[in-house]
Homo-oligomer: A and B are copies of this chain.
Amino acid sequence: MGLDMTRAFNFSAGPAAIPTEVLERAQKELLNWNGYGCSVMELGHRTPDFQTILDKTEDDLRKLLNIPKNYKVLFMHGSASHQFAMVPMNFLAPGETANYLEMDHWSKMCIKEASRFGDMHIQQGIRTNSDGLLELVPENEWSLDEKGKYLHFTSNETIVGVQFQDDPQSFSGKLVSDMCSDILSRPIDIEKYALIYAGAQKNIGPSGMTVVIVREDLFESFQTERVPSLFQYPHVSSKGSMPNTPPSFGIYFAGLVFEWLLEQGGIEEMYQRNLKKAHMLYDYVDQSNFYHSPVAKGSRSFMNVAIQMKDRKHEERFLHEARENHLIALKGHKTFGGLRASIYNAMSIEGVETLIRFMDQFEQRLK
């Protein structure tokens, strides 16, 4: 792309695209926030000014996701991988069991980490069907441990592009969900969940921060023995997400993204746009003899669209030419290969149209 100054359409799975308007505002304020003479990242976190930023950020997230009052919202250091340990450390006393749905890469990483802190009852959540396509295992085929303290599932598997289409219904206990790659992309019925977490770097803001939404009445049952204070949800909550210096610039950035989402019309509007983008792309791929989707209908992610070329030898050239056309980060994850278009909230309909046009022209050039 050389030194072209325009913004590319960025299909990165994460850290992912941030709305250009949000970056422009942050850019404008970077040396002098609100006439204060310094950047937000240079502002003490105990100042009333930063507290105002934090409060508004939380309020806007509550509005966007319609979070009930009996749920606490925490802005925590680190990424979802920290939560992989934190969830079992808080929920499980020694010898207790939890249910984990095993999907692909991320849920496997999560289970590996959680198994260090409790007993795992594992149910496969994904499989390859007779057509060689990935699909969700239907819920009526699941076998769960009803005595397990919770059921953990990854709502959207970023790498292979498989996504739950509905909340799980069959487990009578607590639901815990890693929603890293689809939070804020669709309405969520928060009350069905005990705890939801999401690393920031897909639909929220820069990496290094994780949002946790947790039902407050669970706090009294959480473990503390050999759990670092900053891993104890009740402790972090009691200090209003600031038991220590928080990732303040990340919180500010999340606040700008939340404002942008509200200006766009909120989550229902984003959901409609996201469905539209995904349908455009899957419809194009499905009618093609050149590209195909490795995921069965009914299991497909509307955030991460995995795409394969029927002849994989063209992949490198595709990625190179896409980049020359300002379409970046379309390479699939190293463990899965192929192409992948991550079309989170910040990806415009225009971006998806541009991608489809490029895919079509690329196919024509090879004929």
Q: A residues within 8 Å of B by Cβ?
A: 1-8, 10, 12-18, 20, 23-24, 26-27, 30-32, 35-39, 41-47, 77-82, 85-86, 89, 113, 116-117, 199, 201, 205-209, 226, 228-231, 243-250, 253, 326, 328-329, 334
Contact = CB atoms under 8 A, between A and B. Distances in A.
Contacts of A45: 15, 207
A165 B86 CA distance: 39
B15 A43 contact: yes
This protein's copies in its complex: 2
Nearest to A327: B37
22 contacts: A1-B35, A6-B32, A7-B32, A8-B37, A15-B248, A15-B249, A16-B42, A18-B41, A36-B328, A44-B329, A47-B329, A77-B79, A78-B78, A78-B230, A80-B244, A81-B229, A81-B244, A85-B230, A89-B228, A208-B208, A247-B247, A249-B249
Contacts of A245: 14-15, 79, 81, 199, 201, 207
B81 A78 contact: no
Nearest to A109: B244
A10 B246 CA distance: 19
B13 A229 contact: no
Find the residue from A226, A248, A249 having the highest chain B CB count within 10 A.
Answer: A249
Contacts of A2: 35
Contacts of A41: 15, 18, 205-207, 253
Given A14-B44, A31-B24, A244-B81, A38 B206 contact: no
Contacts of A229: 81, 85, 113, 116
Contacts of A207: 41, 45, 245-249
Nearest to A80: B244
A88 B9 CA distance: 46
A231 B26 CA distance: 32
Nearest to A5: B32
A330 to B, nearest CB: 11
B42 A17 contact: yes
A96 to B, nearest CB: 14
B3 A35 contact: yes
A228 B18 CA distance: 30
Nearest to A328: B37
Contacts of A329: 44, 47
Nearest to A31: B23
